[in-house]
Amino acid sequence: MDAPFFLYMALALGVFVFILWPTLVMLKESVYIDGSLSLGHYRSLLLENRTLLKNSLFVGFWTTLFALIIGLSCALYVTHTDLWGKKAILAVLLMTLISPPFVSSLSYIMLFGRRGLITWKLLGIRWNPYGPGGIIAMEAVGFASIAAFLIMAVLRGIDRSLERASLDLGGNRGDTLIGVTLPLAWPGIMTAGLIVFIRSLSDFGTPMFIGGNFNVLATQAYMTAVGSYDLPKAAAISTVLLIPALAVFIVYRRVMGKNASLFSSKTASDEGAALPGGVQAIIFTVVWAFVALEVAKYGAILVGAFVKTWGVNFTFTLKHMEALEAAKMGSLLRSLKYASIAAFSAAFMGILLARFLGRAKGLLARTLDFTADLPFILPGPFFGIAYLLAFNWMPEPLLATGFLLVTNCVYRQLSIGIKSGVSVLGQINPELEDAVRDQGGSWLSVLKDVVAPKMVPAFLVSFVNTFTFTMTTIGGIIFLITPYTKVLTAEMFDAIQTGDIGASSAMASVIIGVTMVVNVVFSWTLLKKGKARGSEGSELNVS
């Protein structure tokens, strides 16, 4: 390697300490009761509380199915039709992607609750909105954007000549869709389904807010850890969630490692093969129904921040925003600080590790890559409780700085930076690096003059993703928050629990607005610099 080996070893040590070690501690704690080895918690879960597992799998299955239907419809609409409104659809999908995970629950209560705008105010319906139906609907809508972008990326990478060949050989549009497009998109569809399924299993906020008496494993893990502080039992419950997550993780890695030859190296700029008329009509209906629901959802949240009492008094007021500015400004600034630190750290560490993993071979590289991937697919409550168990020995002054909270977010998103960096590194000719070294350049010169300019897109992807994640997450960090480190998503979580719709809407609006502005500004700045460097490089090559 052309960089100091100790640098990569230090980064590798961080991965093992902050990912592998907490996972092992979690597994150990789950089989100990009062200091003795026991499988009592697992026996209780599998024999006496099987309903929790059944409920989780039931919600996960139907959430995944409906999220895939919406996501595939949006992806095909954008990549395989010439219909209008594609930018609006992408904007709605992006909005959903950067929203806190329980925004859907808040809007569901506002629109379809006992005093919901649609059910009670407009239709005069009195009903019980709480139960598995609401959980599935809101999780499916909330996770549809993840599925859509994953499937869209695969559809855009399909070699268009394969679809044209099917049409040239006499196949109609339906044959091409069923026989060529969807089979080629299967890796993306499967990956999207697996990730949505795990996200559903690990979601405790939605079942808590709109599940009523319907309970799932993730919610039980949260209540056990926070309510009764029975960490061994909470560890066992979270470990049960880990079993399907690991199965999904293995399938995910295998799927992503295959079928590379079926995709072109560049994203296709032209549209894919046209869809059959009937299919296009169905997709049009599904997509715009989803968009209409999302517009109503975010419209309700925005309006709710500026009315006195949602469902009762819709008089305009600024009291919720004023209360937010007076009492919660510290939490907002803390969220921005933690998100910025986590984003820069994950992006910087990710591209450095990508430099090592992209060139190194052997057991260490494979083990490091596998370990770094784990948090991306593990349930949030599992990783949060694991940190609580593994690092509860840390001194309070250090915990009060938010160190554990930021570190948790960094290592949960580190894989994005690594994968992005490895992808970019594959486009760099190793001979360029050799040429710099042959001219007497050091490893630092190679990184600074050859690798770093090309890594700008990878840094951008990792920074924006980690910043957004840290600003909006709650599942893993809620177990690590102290009175000194409370962030705005935690404040919003508490407000929804107490039924304060106005304050919840105000905080949700601020989180979404700030996250979107930072995403756009930072992306524009880095893309502008990347283009400038690219044009300079072209001029140098010509001369």
pLDDT tens series, the chain, 543 aa = 445 677 888 999 999 999 999 999 998 988 887 777 888 888 887 777 788 889 999 999 999 999 999 999 999 999 888 888 999 999 999 888 888 888 889 999 999 988 888 888 888 887 778 899 999 999 999 999 999 998 998 888 777 778 778 777 777 778 788 888 888 888 888 888 988 998 898 898 899 999 988 999 889 888 888 888 888 888 888 888 877 777 776 776 676 655 544 444 444 545 556 788 888 999 999 999 999 999 999 999 999 999 998 878 889 999 999 888 777 889 999 999 999 999 999 999 998 888 788 777 778 888 888 899 888 777 888 889 999 999 989 998 898 999 999 999 999 999 888 888 887 777 666 666 667 666 666 666 666 666 777 777 788 888 888 999 999 998 889 999 988 899 999 999 999 988 899 999 999 999 999 898 887 877 676 656 555 555 444 343 333
358 and 458 housed in the same domain: yes
Could you give the C-alpha distances from 260 to 179, 256, 265, in angstroms and in order? 18, 8, 9
User: Same domain for 165 and 226?
Assistant: yes
| CB distance 294 to 302 below 8 Å | no
Q: How many angstroms from the chain centroid is the CA of residue 449?
A: 32
Residue with tokens 């919610």: 219
Regarding whether 352 and 251 lie in a shared domain, the answer is no
pLDDT of residue 429: 64
Q: Kindly list the distances between the CA atom of residue 307 and the CA atoms of 117, 142, 232, 345, 348, in Å, as whole numbers in the listed order.
A: 13, 25, 44, 40, 43
Q: Are residues 240 and 350 in the same domain?
A: no
pLDDT in the model for residue 311: 79
Quick one: 294 and 417 in the same domain? no
Q: Which residues 6+ apart lie within 8 Å of 32 measured at CB?
A: 38, 232
- 44: in domain: no
Task: Say yes or no: 268 and 129 in one domain.
Answer: yes
- Tokens linked to 527: 């893309």
Q: How many domains does the chain have?
A: 2
Q: Give 181-246 as a DSSP string.
A: IHHHHHHHHHHHHHHHHHHHHH--HHHHHH-TT---HHHHHHIIIIIS--HHHHHHHHHHHHHHHH
The strand pairing partners of 33, in sequence order, are 36
Distance CA 76, CA 67 (A): 14
In a domain, 285, yes or no: yes
Measured CA distances, 201 to 54, 64, 193, 307 (Å): 11, 10, 12, 35
Predicted local distance difference test score (pLDDT) of residue 531: 55
In this structure, the answer to whether residues 270 and 393 fall within a common structural domain is no
* pLDDT value of residue 440: 66
Q: Taking every pair of C-alpha atoms in the chain, what is the biggest distance, in angstroms? A: 79
Asked if residue 375 and residue 514 are part of one domain, the reply reads yes
Segments in 305-429 forming alpha helices (H): 319-327, 329-357, 363-377, 380-390, 396-399, 403-425
Does 26 fall in a domain? no
Could you tell me if 224 and 371 lie in one domain?
A: no
Report if residue 316 sits inside a domain. no
Q: Which domain holds residue 190?
A: 52-307
Crossing angle of the two packed helices 231-256 and 50-80, in degrees rounded to 10: 30
> Which residues, 6 or more positions from 12, have their beta carbon under 8 angstroms from its beta carbon?
353, 356, 364, 368
In 30-156 the beta strands, taken as DSSP E runs, fall at 32-33, 36-37
Q: Print burial letters for 141-159: b (CB count within 10 Å at least 16), e (below 16).
A: bbbbbbbbbbbbbbbbbbe
Query: Does one domain contain both 303 and 418?
Result: no
Distances (CA, A) of 161 to 130, 156, 172: 49, 13, 15
Both 277 and 394 in one domain: the answer is: no
Helices 50-80 and 182-202 pack at an angle, to 10 degrees, of: 140
Question: Which of 72, 68, 66 lies closest to 138 in space, CA to CA?
Answer: 66
Query: 264: number of CA atoms within 13 Å, CB side?
Result: 14
| 291 and 205 share one domain | yes
The CATH number linked to 484 is 1.10.3720.10
pTM: 0.85
Domain membership of residue 226 (yes or no) is yes
Residue 31 lies in a domain: no
Residue 7 lies in a domain: no
Torsion of CA 227, 236, 101, 485, to 10 degrees: 60
d(CA 475, CA 167): 47
Pairing outcome for strands 307-309 and 313-316: antiparallel
| Spatial contact of 394 and 243, defined as CB atoms under 8 Å apart | no
Distances in Å between the Cα of 59 and the Cα atoms of 49, 247, 530 are 16, 18, 43
The answer to whether position 319 is within a domain reads: no
User: Whose CA is closest to 338, among 461, 506, 475, 472?
Assistant: 472
Q: How far is CA 312 from CA 298, 304, 495, in A?
A: 19, 11, 18
